[in-house]
Chains A and B, each alone.
Chain A
Amino acid sequence: AQSVTQPDIHITVSEGASLELRCNYSYGATPYLFWYVQSPGQGLQLLLKYFSGDTLVQGIKGFEAEFKRSQSSFNLRKPSVHWSDAAEYFCAVGAEDYKLSFGAGTTVTVRA
């Protein structure tokens, strides 16, 4: 069975600074990887996804993520954070059974 670990529960970053959120997955075959963002009281919005091909994927809102098979990682990055990026971020792994397994999430706080 697949699983996801997000080592950072909470990250605080200054507006304009760079952001990196860590994600490590466990899955025996090639994983399908996703990052979702959730604002308070809201559902999940897809930021980006990796199925195959180029290991650096671009998403919405200026986010990107890099798949590193050797490290079983799929870290999310943004070069310059905006106050509106404050939210909870979830990494998820999917497999051939079509269900998603999520990490516990990382809460991002943006300070002025």
Chain B
Amino acid sequence: DAGVTQSPTHLIKTRGQQVTLRCSPKSGHDTVSWYQQALGQGPQFIFQYYEEEERQRGNFPDRFSGHQFPNYSSELNVNALLLGDSALYLCASSDRKFGQETQYFGPGTRLLVL
């Protein structure tokens, strides 16, 4: 049973560019959440997708957007990259059908903005 997968593993961009990160949830999971983890800090919630809609959003600007596909996979897009966007981006999947669910995390995508 494959767990949560993310691609790419590492990415280097320059300021002002745009980036797309991808996530495939654990088999049987229908909900995908995205988190940003800056160096030395705990993960911060960006947003969550369920039934192809953004359901919850954390305190992140509109430069951060996402999408969920019918197969439950998800993308995180960040426009107009800033140096401060350098971080580990974590995707977590869960099964919402049974109420409060446990989130399982992927290995993350390390983004460096120069």
- Name A's B-contacting residues (CB within 8 A): 4, 32, 34, 36, 41-46, 49, 51, 90, 92, 94, 96-105
B residues near A32, Cβ cutoff 8 Å? 100
How far apart sit A34 and B96, CA to CA, in the bound complex (Å)? 17
Pair A46/B102 contact, Cβ less than 8 Å: yes
How far apart sit A97 and B56, CA to CA, in the bound complex (Å)? 7
Measured between C-beta atoms, what is the minimum distance from A23 to chain B in Å? 11
- Name B's A-contacting residues (CB within 8 A): 4, 31, 33, 35, 41-45, 48, 55-56, 58, 90, 92, 94, 96, 100-108, 110
| In the complex, number of A-B residue pairs with CB atoms less than 8 Å apart | 61
Smallest CB gap from A51: residue in B: B100
Pick the most buried of B101, B105, B108: most chain A CB atoms within 10 A of its CB. B105
Measured between C-beta atoms, what is the minimum distance from B81 to chain A in Å? 22
B residues near A45, Cβ cutoff 8 Å? 105
Measured between C-beta atoms, what is the minimum distance from A7 to chain B in Å? 14
- Which of B44, B58, B96, B107 touches A43 (beta carbons < 8 Å)? B107
- Which of A44, A51, A96, A103 touches B90 (beta carbons < 8 Å)? A44
Measured between C-beta atoms, what is the minimum distance from B71 to chain A in Å? 20
